[in-house]
Structures are given as C-alpha cells and as structure tokens.
Amino acid sequence: MPLLIKFTLYSVLIFFLISCSVQPVSNPAHQISFPKPVLSTSSITAQELSKYWWYARFKFVWSEKADTVNFSDNLFIAHQVIIPVLDAHHDDIQLWRFHRRAADDNAGHQFSFIFYATQQTAGTIFQQIENNSLVKQLLNEDILERIRLDDITQPKRQNIADTSDRNWSYAIQKSWPYYIMGVSTLWLDLLNQEITKSQLDTSQAIHLQRVHYKDINEQITRQWKEQGNHAFFHHISAIFGYESLEIRF
C-alpha cells in the first residue's frame, strides 16, 4: 500500500497560528516578523511584484518497500539548514513554509522549503544551502539522495496564490500561504524547544545526531497527538464561530 504522508494534511485546521513567531537556535533573541496580508491588488507595491515562489527540495534515501519512513531526518534540514536561512533573510522572505511527504513515486521521501522572495534573495539562499556543510555531509553519507533548487533565471510563480491547491476557491488560495507559514513556524518552534532541552551537540557524528533527532521528533509527535485536539482543532473551530465542517471522502 503506497505511503503518503503530507505535513499540510496533518495541519489542515490550524488557521489561528498565523500570529506565531519563531526563535532560531542560532539567535534566541531574534523573532521572525510576519508581513501583513495583501488585501487588494491596489496595495501591491512594485517590490512585491518582483517576488516569486521558490522551492528547495531535499530528497532522502528511502526504500519504497519499507514499512515506515524516518521523518526525523527532516529535522536535520529544518534545524541546521533552514533556521540559518531564516535568521539571515527574515526581512527578505515575505512568506515561507515546509512540506513533508513520502510516497511510492519519483519524488519519494522529500522535505521542501518553499518561500516567496525576489530572484536575488533566492539566489543567495540557494547558494547558502548548497554551501552548507551538513548538506554536503548528508549527501556523502547517503542520507540525502539529492537536493533540487529552482532555476532563479526562470521564475514561474509570481502570485501569492500560485502554490495553493487549484481545487480551492481563489480566496482560500490567496490566504492559505499565511496560514501554513504559521503552522510551519509553530512546528519549527517546537523543534527549537526540544533541541534546547535535549542539549543536542551538532559537532557529533551524524549517526549520533540522528538518535537525538529521532527522540526530538517523537516528542513533537507526542505533543501533536496529546494536545492537538484542543490546542489546534478546538481553536480553529472557535475562529470560525463553531460552525460545522463538511468532510468529503
């Protein structure tokens, strides 16, 4: 049976998290500032018109025949690759999010960092990712199969709604990136908190770090299972006035 696990599906009802902020490990005093939603086309500035969506995809080595996927390896990228990017470019990235998935297809087990910024910012970020020593080590040790970065000379997705599901109404497509950035921010902050408690040493050998990240991932999963119903689902229901939700199978 194909395995398909998507981070966004896990978090489908967490709209209120838009206001969350992140405190990167590299600089605990720093917080990601959130942009205000663009509410009308007349308020879009010339600078915003030059921004596009960009994907940095990290494909992990994984046998599709395996019963489980080691999603804890995603934490390597989020913690040691993406946090430094957000720390360095938080003023230049208008929107960002994570996507986690694993399926029996060409993409396989993939962790993605998706962000909305100018071509110049994207080029700098992609260079930072390619030069990251951890990325090189994960590739050399056959934990990462490859990384795929968008071609900055060929920007394709200029509108805020361009990476949202086309099956949604345009209003939802346009608002959803702000919601999922909040979700991704909360997840990253949970990761940071668990890393602080575990006293992870990033100078250790990769196989020792993998043990720490596995434990951290389990702690985050436990919080999701035990507290997600009230902390997430109850409060998103409150935001929408406790109206019933139509669920189609």
Domains identified in the chain, total number: 1
Count of C-beta atoms within a 10 Å radius of residue 213:
24
pTM score: 0.81
Residue 114: inside a domain, yes or no?
Answer: yes
Is the distance from CB of 56 to CB of 126 less than 8 angstroms?
Answer: yes
Is the distance from CB of 133 to CB of 89 less than 8 angstroms?
Answer: no
Q: Which residues contact 1 (CB under 8 A, 6 or more apart)?
A: none
Question: What is residue 187's DSSP assignment?
Answer: H
Residue 2: inside a domain, yes or no?
Answer: no
Residue 210: inside a domain, yes or no?
Answer: yes
Total number of residues shown for the chain: 249
Residue 56: inside a domain, yes or no?
Answer: yes
Q: Which residues contact 219 (CB under 8 A, 6 or more apart)?
A: 194
User: Can you tell me the distance from the alpha carbon of 18 to that of 192, in angstroms, rounded to the nearest whole number?
Assistant: 18
Residue 1: inside a domain, yes or no?
Answer: no
What is the dihedral sign for C-alpha 208, 224, 240, 99?
positive
User: Can you tell me the distance from the alpha carbon of 237 to that of 169, in angstroms, rounded to the nearest whole number?
Assistant: 20
Count of C-beta atoms within a 10 Å radius of residue 223:
14
User: Can you tell me the distance from the alpha carbon of 198 to that of 215, in angstroms, rounded to the nearest whole number?
Assistant: 9
Bridge partners, residue 147, by sequence: 58
* Averages of pLDDT over each 10 residues, the chain, 249 residues: 42 38 38 45 58 97 78 95 94 95 89 97 97 96 96 94 96 96 96 91 94 96 96 94 88
Is the distance from CB of 99 to CB of 111 less than 8 angstroms?
Answer: yes
Residue 249: inside a domain, yes or no?
Answer: no
Q: Is 77 exposed, middle or buried (0-12, 13-18, 19+ CB in 10 A)?
A: buried
Complete DSSP assignment for 190-236: HHHHHHHHHT--TTS-HHHHHHHHHHHHHHHHHHHHHHHIIIIIIHH
Residue 116 is part of which domain span?
7-16+47-238
Residue 213: inside a domain, yes or no?
Answer: yes
Output the pLDDT for position 47: 55
Residue 162: inside a domain, yes or no?
Answer: yes
